Structure 1
Amino acid sequence: MTDIFISYSRRDRDFVKSLHQTFIKLGRDVWVDWEDIPLTADWKQEIFTGIEGTDNFLFILSPDSIKSQYCGEELEYAIKNHKRLIPVVYREVNPQDVHPTLAALNWIFIRNEDDFYSNFHTLLDAIDTDLDHVRTHTRLLKRAIEWHSKKYDPCFLLRGTDLKAALKWLTQSQEQQPSPTSLHKQYIIKSNEAESKRHKRTVTAISFGMSITTILTVLSFGLYQRAEELRLQAEKENLFALSKTSEALFVSEQRFDALVEAIRAGMKLKESTWAIKDTQVQNLIITELQQAIFWVMESNQLEGHIDSVQAVAWSPDGELIATASEDRTTKIWHRNGTLVATLQGHKGTIWAVDWSLDGKLIATASDDNTVKIWNRKGQLITTLKGHKAPVYAVVFSRNNIIATGGQDKTVKLWNSEGKLLRTLQGQNSEVWWLTWTADGKSLATAGNDKLVRVWDLSNPKVLKPIFTLAGHTKEVNAVSFSPDGKILASASADKTVKLWNVAGKKPILLHTLFGHTEQVYAISFAPNGKTIATGSFDNTAKIWKIDGTLVRTLKGHKSEVYGVAWSPDSKMLVTGSFDSSVKIWHLDKTLPKVLSGHEDAVSAISFSPDGHTIASASWDKTVKMWQSDGKLISTFKGHTGFVRRVSFSPDGKIIATTSSDNLVKLWNREGKELKTLVGHEDVVNSLAWSPDGKILASASNDKTVKIWDVSGNKHSVLQTITAHKAAVLDVAFSPDGKSLVTASADKLIKHWTLTGKLLATFTGHTDVVNSVTFSPDGQLIVSSSDDKTVRIWQINGKLLRTMIGHSDRVWDAIFSPQQKSTLPVAKNHSLIIASASIDRTVKLWQLDGTELVTLKGHKDGVISLSFSPDGKMLASGGLDNNIILWNLQQVGTLDKLLVKGCRWIEDYLKNNPNLEKSDRQLCESVQS
């Protein structure tokens, strides 16, 4: 492996030699090709091997390198393998001519006019950033490629400590750059699956050995005990392996598979009488199971094709799904995953499939220049012959007119008996996709000339398109009319989707949808006309509103998504992929709501007293108001620094905020600024309302707490408490309003009267205390700290217990608002505590310190929390700029989660033909 691979134009050889020599003097290992010869196949592979084995890919930007075919191939291979790219400008280039991936990065300038050594050190800093992560990326990639080249020989899989380290790297690297490749994920997951099977064999062998021992009674009691210890250890390792497999699958976006593995781990846990009492094992498995159930949308996998699935179509009655494949077959499936029929007869790839409006006929278009018509049972009715080249598109109109198009640049119209009715003139390009309006009067075509053509077929004398839509910069792969025929959606190789109003005399471009990172290959309007589905070469499908808002991204396919189709009720989507799989997604499933809109970290969240409104504060200097269903209401602007805290007054009429601009502001619910409280000399970190709403306390980096009279129009300081020897990070009123507690960077918590009398000092935390708050009855206090712990105290300062479980700083910890929790998982319906950490998780705890569950969903540290007034909802805000609304009624015990999970995969277990008997029986013992 090498530290650096340099890609450059031979015209920049002298500069690269100078750069190379400087690297060598510093002991850096550099791969650079000095040969000035055409690339042979062997030499190209040598270069690609060099790219695979390097930690950093340096691209020397110059007018010649960005035009070089060889440099372009090297760059594309580096991008494919997720190498860290570092662009170095040697000669000025036009940014518009640079590859988009490079153009989006920070450039390092080492031109003749630049200070070489100063900028070279900047380059070194870039190379050395996250060095361990990058080296692990390279090392694992090399091993994964070797495994792949050896035809997936299990001898090359990871084991033992190497596997544990790889699993940890994979689960922690999703938001780091360079990110893991799909081969990384596949390699690590397969290694872990193999390890799980080894542990299972070990358990079986030990158990068998023990049985023989018992029968023959030849072993001593001490040896028996040792054997039992080994068996239990093997069982425990197996449970951990299953859990880690689920976690690895989840972070790799294989959420359905993650759920299956989590259920498998849960069932093993129930079978192990000792393990059910091991809280570490139990929490780990419940967390993975809860995570998968929260976020999974894929409900079934239809497996049977042996090559890429090019198209999918749902029958009008919603009962059947047709899938067309490069394996030259079309398959008909029941919606529960049962294979109904396999249609064989085509002699080439089947590119398209469609159902007639009455659901009695199926049409398939193929590379063999034909279209075949089949009945619902899969019997061939007729073959349409007339195209002189591969047929790429076929679609039924409402009156069973069949439109076909293909490589021969023609569009042909047929009746269902196979008679050719018309050939449309004026296409002038290959036809890749066709779509009818619901009334069957208009037809849209798309192809490789970047244009969309709309034909009015209500007038048989019109043989040319009435509209030609120009706007895409590359080929148009697919088009779809809205159910009312007023909007046409087009998907293109330029990575965009365009929505056109075609209801008038002149088409109007309504929206351009950006979001896919590769070409968009498939598109379909939902039957309800409210949403659109797209499939892309970026391995995802996306759901959009017709106003262009991205609703959801569906991840799970391991390769390009070629086909998307809606169920008639618009609640489900089926997708087909180059990976030969077909997936069914339940789009009506209730997921935790993710509120996106802030441009920086969400530092605080507050529910209104009635629970109908949520206020959020952000480092982007704004406050946002949201409806409880996630709809953005308004944005408050006024602070000139980070907004650190936001809180509704007890009557819900006023919102108070604090900021790094040293100010406290009061607002009405409409966003009008009512008052600015000036007095602090440094950042104001926190605030708290008294229960009657007449007093406000604020905590600051100036080491003080100020108590303000905010009743009427007074807004005056009642008391200034010099509270700590370092920044005061949080303040909270007691429920009776007679005292308050403060948390500080000096590692202490203090309890005060409102006049500033110190009642107690709480010692125990070993690092900065970030948050502090009272329990609803005022008898307990919970705190969180940079020491990674959550602690519960009596109000006299006595430490009751310390909760250890987070792996990084804990920024917030709060009590649920009710004495009797409604959380299903809470034992005896007792009060619970939620904590938020930089480790990207939210944890729920019992008062006795028992960890109940870990909530995963944020892509960066979690720094703020708020319960809804009824305790049924928890909002968390993170460094990922998002708010997640967790429905705590969906949090469950192991038994309840297994019931939910097994219900979700019921069709898959029952009907998937590739499952082993033991897998098919996975949920047999679960009582629904």
Structure 2
Amino acid sequence: MLHHVFVSYSRRDSAWVDALIDELVRRRVPFWIDREGIPFSVPWRKEVEDAVQACDLFLVCDSGQWRASRACAEEASFALSFGKTRQEIPVGRDVGVAAEQVAPVWAEAVRRHGSATELAVKAQEWHASGRKGKGLASWRLRRQFEALRKVRKPSSVERAYLAASRRRNRRRAAASVLLTFLLLVTYLSFRVAPGVEDEVNRRLAEQAGRYRDARDAIAIVQDDPYRGLNLAAELGENESAADADILEEALAVDVPDDAFVLPVAGRHFADPTVGPRVRIVGQDGTLWGRNTDDRARRQAFRLSGDATVQPAEDVTDPSLSLVWQANSSRIRVLREDQEWRTVNLTSTARAAQLSPDRRWAAVATDAGVALVDLFRGTVRDLLRGAPAPLTDLAWADGGDRIWGLTGRSVVSWDVTDGDVLLDRPDEWFQDVLPASDDGQVWVTSRNGTMRLLERASGDVVRTVKVKGTLNYAAADDDGKNAAVVDGDNSRVRIVSLSSGRSNAVEIPSDCTPWRPAYSLDGRTFYLPCQNNEILVVDVESRRQKATIRVPGLGTTAVALTSDGNGLLVGTVGGNVYSVGTSSGARPRLLLQVHCRPQILDIATAPGSRILPVGVGTGLSGCTQAAHADGDGAYAWDAFIDSPPDSVLALGAAYDPSGKAFAIGFSDGTVVLHPSANIQPRQTLAHISGGVRSMLTLPAAGSGATGSDLYIATRAGTLIRIAWCPSCLSNKAMARVARQRLRRAESLGLYEPPPASHAPTATTRNPT
């Protein structure tokens, strides 16, 4: 909406403001008012900024509460930066009189500044949409905008918008002349055109057919995972995006990697969790089993002993339970007999079991086994490939495997992604930091605890306690010092990682600090403040030695460039800047992410690769990665991840070579990409809790090669995943598909048809 009054007010004055709004409505004065709560969220803050830019009059409902409000001050700063006409009306004044004062001021503001407002908004929208043809000014409107040059100097974006509009107007003016010429050319080329048209149509049909085949193949994967693997196994000869889509879908479906059969139909598992031996009670009351590590054995053996189900022991949270009704697709999660989560499934629940650590629930349905993350109450994965719907489930003692029973068949899925180095269910892990010893790593917790771990075993070597909440942390590359941020109280401390001593760093009162970044030599760290500043802090003296200012509103992320000679800065508005490390350095805008999300983390890699992530990551237009394109310029590639339950990414990392990168989302999803082609990607859906940060380190140990990705989660886990950039290709994924098919054949779940060497389903539409 353009040409309105923006109403800035304190929520404590809402009663008076509502009455004023009624009076403005009677006088047909258009208005925009923020009804959201305080503090408003990052996306909503952007809505507020846009509304201020689009208004012609900024109306202040003046009161003591308004002057004390930080949100109102931010709105006022928007109005000041956009040069808006400002009018102040004291709260408590007769609303009729107030409205009479507002109406003429607004009308005059529209007359004097309306065209300037419209130009600013249209130019910004055109810039945010990628500077495409849509939204350019018509000939008449452009002349009106260009007349503004006499009274104000247009911004760089406005100048570019007017120039693009002028070029389009000229092209349209020439269209009538060109039309006659084109008709003549078309007539003279009549005999040649059919051949050219046939070739174009042939290529278009070939391309359309390829994507139609990919769409059909994905439908097959959704119908039958093994037929999908059959299709995927035949691919890999090229790195096409269509083939990548098929491979991603086929390998995203988890199928059993272990199975055996019973001589009789099974009734249920004999134990609440499975230890060294999986035991099943038959329908006739007999007891059968198999050693869990004897994966070559395909037949259960008879066991002696009591066939009654044993009670669960050492349960992490005995107050947690699952409740559902027969023929219902809704699962209720109770905590201390009170409803805590409600999970809606796509099909009827047949059986359900809580994981030993009480982070997950496995629910057997007609469609497969739904893996529910109890932290969020959402289905994170669907385990398929069983020969029929399951009637009972059991978790392994360690929570790394799920066993299922159907008739005479017992199947099992591995539900781990990486190695769990540290598990503290009652804590919220925040950051992973390098240590002075290459065989160790630090992990921080929001409760102020910092732990030093052995990377090989996960054993805790030392613990350091820091006062207050630990919202963000960063360490120098040598692991000597860490800068920790208590964002709740706007405090920053430097912690000696060798002695554990910490000392406060004085920062300005208007600085809301975010995650810092250290220089390569460790003598300086850079602290982003949401007031558009980056504080340059000397580690030895613990004093601010310089300030770097960044345009726009809100500096929320900072990272060193890959060569360490500069900084990359992300903002609330989705801007990414490069800037020198000295005071007074002038920032250079590298990119404005199209949907203008808040940037919360920036990953870098050799080859000048840049990956900014934050609010909206995964959505179309919100996720872009860059690589150097010569002469200091960058080429930006947009892509879509769109994980199932989150569009907020709090962590990102490259492997040391820069050939692959990872994005960690707030629902726990981690997506791995090849840097060159972006696809095929690998989605890790078995990490509980939200990803808070990531760190790449060379593999530890003598003679070790490769590198590892460390992931800290809100659920109190530290996960290690081995980097494998070469695994992220169509050729490599097709090889994995063939391996899964061979394994399915050896398990007796599927057998190859007589006319083919590729395994196919022995049952129709396996779950």
Q: TM-score, normalised by structure 1?
A: 0.44
Partner Cα separation in structure 1 for residue 589 and residue 402 of structure 2: 60
Tell me the SS of whatever aligns to 1:884. strand
Residue 326 of structure 2 corresponds to residue 497 of structure 1: no
Q: 1:236 to 1:638 in 2, by over 3 A?
A: same
The 5-angstrom pairing of residues 570-649 of structure 1 reads 577=405, 580-583=408-411, 591-593=418-420, 595-597=422-424, 602-608=429-435, 610-619=437-446, 622-628=449-455, 629-632=457-460, 636-641=464-469, 643-649=470-476
Tell me the SS of whatever aligns to 1:763. strand
Partner Cα separation in structure 2 for residue 778 and residue 758 of structure 1: 23
Equivalent pairs counted in the alignment come to 485
Tell me the SS of whatever aligns to 1:604. strand
Partner Cα separation in structure 1 for residue 261 and residue 201 of structure 2: 49
Q: What is the identity, as a one-letter code, of the residue corresponding to 1:866?
A: L
Residue 527 of structure 2 corresponds to residue 698 of structure 1: yes
The 5-angstrom pairing of residues 407-556 of structure 1 reads 477-478=308-309, 491-492=310-311, 496-497=312-313, 514=318, 517=321, 539-540=352-353
Corresponding residue for residue 267 of structure 1 = 233
Cα drift, residue 729 of structure 1: 0.9
Residue 114 of structure 2 corresponds to residue 286 of structure 1: no
CA RMSD of aligned residues (A): 5.0
Tell me the SS of whatever aligns to 1:240. helix
Q: 5+ unaligned residues in a row in structure 1: which ranges?
A: 1-219, 247-257, 313-317, 343-352, 355-393, 396-431, 434-476, 479-490, 499-510, 520-536, 544-548, 822-829
Q: What is the identity, as a one-letter code, of the residue corresponding to 2:267?
A: S
Partner Cα separation in structure 1 for residue 473 and residue 425 of structure 2: 14
Q: 1:918 to 1:785 in 2, by over 3 A?
A: farther
Residue 573 of structure 2 corresponds to residue 746 of structure 1: yes
Partner Cα separation in structure 1 for residue 353 and residue 480 of structure 2: 44
Q: What is the identity, as a one-letter code, of the residue corresponding to 1:237?
A: R
Cα drift, residue 687 of structure 1: 0.9
Cα drift, residue 902 of structure 1: 4.8
Corresponding residue for residue 640 of structure 2 = 805
Q: What is the identity, as a one-letter code, of the residue corresponding to 2:517?
A: A
Tell me the SS of whatever aligns to 1:806. coil
Tell me the SS of whatever aligns to 1:686. coil
Which one of 490, 493, 517 corresponds to residue 665 of structure 1?
A: 493
Partner Cα separation in structure 2 for residue 620 and residue 572 of structure 1: 28
Partner Cα separation in structure 2 for residue 596 and residue 626 of structure 1: 12
Tell me the SS of whatever aligns to 2:580. strand
Cα drift, residue 651 of structure 1: 1.9
Determine if contact 1:308/1:581 at 8 Å carries over to the other structure. Answer: no
Cα drift, residue 665 of structure 1: 1.7
Tell me the SS of whatever aligns to 1:917. coil
Q: 1:600 to 1:572 in 2, by over 3 A?
A: closer
Q: 5+ unaligned residues in a row in structure 2: which ranges?
A: 1-197, 324-349, 364-368, 370-385, 617-621, 700-705, 761-767
Corresponding residue for residue 536 of structure 2 = 707
The 5-angstrom pairing of residues 752-901 of structure 1 reads 752-766=580-594, 767-771=596-600, 773=602, 775-777=604-606, 779-786=608-615, 788-792=622-626, 794=628, 798-807=633-642, 808-817=647-656, 821=657, 831-838=659-666, 841-857=669-685, 858-859=687-688, 862-870=691-699, 872-878=707-713, 882-889=717-724, 891-900=727-736
Partner Cα separation in structure 2 for residue 325 and residue 564 of structure 1: 19
Q: 1:680 to 1:868 in 2, by over 3 A?
A: farther
Q: Deviations over 1:710-756 (max 9, x none)?
A: 13xx2221112233442211122345554323221133233123223
Tell me the SS of whatever aligns to 2:515. strand
Q: What is the identity, as a one-letter code, of the residue corresponding to 1:691?
A: L
Cα drift, residue 575 of structure 1: 5.7
Tell me the SS of whatever aligns to 2:478. coil
Q: 1:262 to 1:597 in 2, by over 3 A?
A: farther
Which one of 714, 730, 742 corresponds to residue 557 of structure 2?
A: 730
Determine if contact 2:266/2:407 at 8 Å carries over to the other structure. Answer: yes
Partner Cα separation in structure 1 for residue 576 and residue 242 of structure 2: 30
Which one of 262, 282, 287 corresponds to residue 325 of structure 1?
A: 282
Corresponding residue for residue 240 of structure 1 = 218
**Aligned-pair identity (%):** 13
Partner Cα separation in structure 2 for residue 898 and residue 225 of structure 1: 26
Partner Cα separation in structure 1 for residue 592 and residue 572 of structure 2: 13
Q: What is the identity, as a one-letter code, of the residue corresponding to 2:434?
A: F
Cα drift, residue 685 of structure 1: 0.5
Corresponding residue for residue 684 of structure 1 = 513
Q: 1:759 to 1:516 in 2, by over 3 A?
A: closer
Determine if contact 1:688/1:732 at 8 Å carries over to the other structure. Answer: yes
Cα drift, residue 240 of structure 1: 1.2
Determine if contact 2:402/2:414 at 8 Å carries over to the other structure. Answer: no
Partner Cα separation in structure 1 for residue 581 and residue 400 of structure 2: 58
Determine if contact 1:743/1:772 at 8 Å carries over to the other structure. Answer: yes
Partner Cα separation in structure 1 for residue 247 and residue 353 of structure 2: 28
Cα drift, residue 677 of structure 1: 0.9
Q: 1:888 to 1:739 in 2, by over 3 A?
A: closer
Tell me the SS of whatever aligns to 2:229. helix
Cα drift, residue 873 of structure 1: 1.1
Determine if contact 2:575/2:591 at 8 Å carries over to the other structure. Answer: yes
Q: TM-score, normalised by structure 2?
A: 0.52
